[in-house]
Amino acid sequence: MSLAFRLRQILAICKKNMRIYYTEPPVLIFGLLFPFVLFSAFAMGRGIPPVQLVPGLLGITLFFTGSSVGPFITPWETRTKTLEKLLSSPTSVAVLVLGDVLAAVIFGVFVASFVVALALLGVGLSLASAGMAALNILLSALCFGGLGTMFSAMPTDKPANVMMLSNAIRLPVIFISGIFIPLGELPEWGRVLSYISPVTYTTDLMRYAFGQDYVLGPWVNVLAVAAFGAIFLMLSVKLHDRTARSRI
């Protein structure tokens, strides 16, 4: 089949996911409410100026919004038997995965862009590099969208099981990512540990984009986020290809 046909399939799956799953309570809670509540709980009372908190808020927002849609889609469609219909059509597992990831990317980009607009208009923050901020938002949404879709490869028809697994991984990752404590203020062992988290590079690059202190070079962060995203996408396709038939 032609590339154009595959692209139309991906877009159709993405539109279906956007229409059905964006308003589901688990997606709204873990994708919108939870990151803001978690960030506020750790930011309050620390005496940090709001302008310095924005990059960390964007990092945690992108992480949770990008990875909140994917874990819900596949198990729910397994339960409702719609996944069986999709797999029996001329659609590959890779196309299904990419459609799910694209829906997660759009969700993450939209929410992150809203946070940036609030920072620029409400907090009085200014961008030192709007292009790098846009690139960071797009790559990070893609990276975390792939991560969320990878979680959903678990062979279950219960979204709650996938959500529990994803949160058991996402929460520890948040605390080693330099969101609440900048990389430059972490001890050596903490900084080494933070480098295994993709959120570290997203947050550090966002600090650069807002003209704040950063540790890693901007293109090091870009390459790291892109590399994590490529790994998550490849693993998503591979794992879903392995478990898809067992769901039917």
Within 13 Å, how many C-alpha atoms sit on residue 72's CB side? Answer: 21
The predicted pLDDT at position 211 comes to 85
The predicted pLDDT at position 24 comes to 74
The predicted pLDDT at position 41 comes to 66
The predicted pLDDT at position 140 comes to 93
One-letter identity of residue 137: I
Within 13 Å, how many C-alpha atoms sit on residue 193's CB side? Answer: 12
Distance CA 171, CA 67 (A): 12
The predicted pLDDT at position 161 comes to 77
Q: What tokens appear for 219 in the block?
A: 């293109």
The predicted pLDDT at position 220 comes to 92
The predicted pLDDT at position 117 comes to 84
**Length of the chain as a residue count:** 248
Distance CA 247, CA 79 (A): 9
Model-level pTM?
0.85
B/e letters for 78-94, b = 16+ CB within 10 Å, e = fewer, are beeeebeebbeeebebb
- Residue ranges in the chain modelled with pLDDT below 70: 1, 38, 41-51, 83-89, 123-124, 182-184, 246-248
The predicted pLDDT at position 126 comes to 79
The predicted pLDDT at position 224 comes to 94
The predicted pLDDT at position 232 comes to 93
**What would the pLDDT profile of 107-152 be if each residue is shown by its tens digit?**
888 888 888 888 777 766 777 888 898 999 999 999 999 998 888 8
Radius of gyration of the chain (CA): 18
Report whether 67 contacts 150 (CB < 8 A).
no
Sequence ranges of the domains in the chain: 3-247
The predicted pLDDT at position 225 comes to 94
The predicted pLDDT at position 113 comes to 86
The predicted pLDDT at position 88 comes to 66
